[in-house]
Amino acid sequence: MTFFRTATEVAADLRRGTLSSRELTEQLFARIDASDVNAVVATRRDFALNSAATADATTGGPLHGVPMTIKDAFAVAGLATTWGEPAFADAVADRDAVVVERLHAAGAIVVGKSNVHHLLADFGRTVNPLYGRTLNPRDKARTPGGSSGGAAAALAAGLSFVEYGSDLAGSIRIPAAYCGVYGLKPTPGTVPLRGFQPPGQPAGLVREFPSTVGPLARSAADLRLALSVTGEPGPPSRRSRLADFRVGVVLDDPHCPVTDEVGKVLSDAVDALARTGVKIHEGWPDGVDPRVQAEAFGFQVEWFFAAQEGGEPAGAAEQERQRAALGAAWARYFADVDVFLCPTVFTTAPKHDDRDRYDDQVFWIAQASLPGLPAVSAPLAGALPVGLQVVGPAHEDDTPITFADLAADVLGGFVPPAE
């Protein structure tokens, strides 16, 4: 189906002239209107349709004419930047965020905004007093995760061809895992944050660490494409053949045990990778205590919110020394290993308002977040999607992206939900 194709495929058809951007955008709006998952909450239709008509008559960048949505935390000229807060409902942006500027320069057409958890302050759900709750297209009784739940749900439901979200406490990777799409948390600082802040905040107040912004998509190749037009360039992938990758693996831990369903799907995936010739190395890196790492990550989240108030929590200097030591431990590990595989989340998407083991949802994502490593959540097929987290060396974002891309045929990749 057209609406579940990748952005890369659609862009190629638009360049060839076998697909009309205007017609595609009109059809996408009709699909958004008919959807009941509440993923896309604001649109700018005249702008989008006029831009699409222009795209049909011209040539441009790698996303030329591709319609997309973006998380309602980025400034988009002509649309309110609400963060799900009613007080910001009329805070219409007069200029685009840097990410939006760069997407437009690449030819993408940002047609609207996807829903967020209120003030982005939750990783396990997407609900706010302005737009309400977003549902998971895989099972509407379940959460899409948060706070980029609208972004992941829009992709899974075929309402956007690529998305852009943010990730402080797993807000890209957890929704990607629950909705069965791909999501990338880049190395902090790879993608500029200007224009990603609540209305009224001065530019630059959101810190480059630990918050990051990055793409969500229906393929790892689309993650690479979106990052290439929005982020700073980095080195190419260490490997170009799947069988050449040296892969570290930890699929479970007593401090955050995975469910039986998740464990079985992950184990089958690693077995399938091993059969391709991938070299598997089991165990945590020397010098990395996953429990301590997860607990210390909570401090970094506290630091982020303190920064929004212009302050800094006590103990920040010591925590930064610990983080530097942890980064050094991972750097030593990645001298002999190319990527590290672990769960994205210990479970599949919970039911709405299920609070069982709620905070455990961030245990596995913290393993990449605290040391500032790039990480892809790649979808694995089960009764409900399971997220496989592919962690790479700092500033080598293309390495985990390439691994996820090359492994897609083995692991299954994105599968549209039953309709």
Distance set, CA 17 to CA 14, 202, 363, 380 (Å): 5, 43, 46, 34
- The helix/strand/coil state of 62 is coil
Q: Rounded mean pLDDT of the chain?
A: 94
What's the confidence (pLDDT) of residue 86?
98
Strands of 16-159 (E only): list them: 40-43, 67-71, 109-114, 127-128, 132-133
Nearest CA-CA partner of 166 in 125, 201, 197: 197
211 pLDDT tier (thresholds 50, 70, 90): confident
Q: Is 171 a catalytic residue?
A: yes
Q: Can you read off the two tokens belonging to residue 352?
A: 């709405």
Lowest model confidence (mean pLDDT) among 47-56, 58-67, 287-296, 338-347: 287-296
pLDDT, average across residues 363-385: 95
Q: Can you read off the two tokens belonging to residue 384?
A: 């409900």
What's the confidence (pLDDT) of residue 322?
80
What's the confidence (pLDDT) of residue 317?
74
Q: Can you read off the two tokens belonging to residue 299?
A: 């401090």
Share of the chain above pLDDT 90, in %: 86
In one letter, which amino acid is 252? D
Please pick, among 21, 171, 211, 369, the residue that the annotation labels catalytic.
Answer: 171
Lowest model confidence (mean pLDDT) among 38-52, 101-115, 229-243, 284-298: 284-298
Q: Is 264 a catalytic residue?
A: no
Residue 326 pLDDT exceeds 70: yes
For the domain made up of 242-406, the CATH class stated in words is: alpha beta
What's the confidence (pLDDT) of residue 142?
99
For domain 2-230, the CATH superfamily is Amidase signature (AS) domain (3.90.1300.10)
- For residue 393, cis peptide bond before it (omega within 30 degrees of 0): no
206 pLDDT tier (thresholds 50, 70, 90): low
Residue 149 pLDDT exceeds 60: yes
Lowest model confidence (mean pLDDT) among 84-88, 109-113, 137-141, 197-201: 197-201
What's the confidence (pLDDT) of residue 105?
98
DSSP state of 371: T
What's the confidence (pLDDT) of residue 312?
64
pLDDT, average across residues 230-244: 98
Domain locations along the chain: 2-230, 242-406
Same fold flag, 2-230 and 242-406: yes
Please pick, among 21, 51, 114, 147, the residue that the annotation labels catalytic.
Answer: 147
In one letter, which amino acid is 418? A
Residue 158 pLDDT exceeds 70: yes
Nearest CA-CA partner of 110 in 68, 64, 151: 68
Residue 272 pLDDT exceeds 70: yes
Please pick, among 21, 51, 71, 113, the residue that the annotation labels catalytic.
Answer: 71
Residue 4 pLDDT exceeds 70: yes
Q: Is 71 a catalytic residue?
A: yes
Residue 310 pLDDT exceeds 90: no
What's the confidence (pLDDT) of residue 277?
96
What's the confidence (pLDDT) of residue 306?
64
What's the confidence (pLDDT) of residue 202?
60
- Can you tell me which residue has the tokens 């999607």? 385
238 pLDDT tier (thresholds 50, 70, 90): very high
**Torsion sign, CA atoms 78, 81, 85, 88:** negative
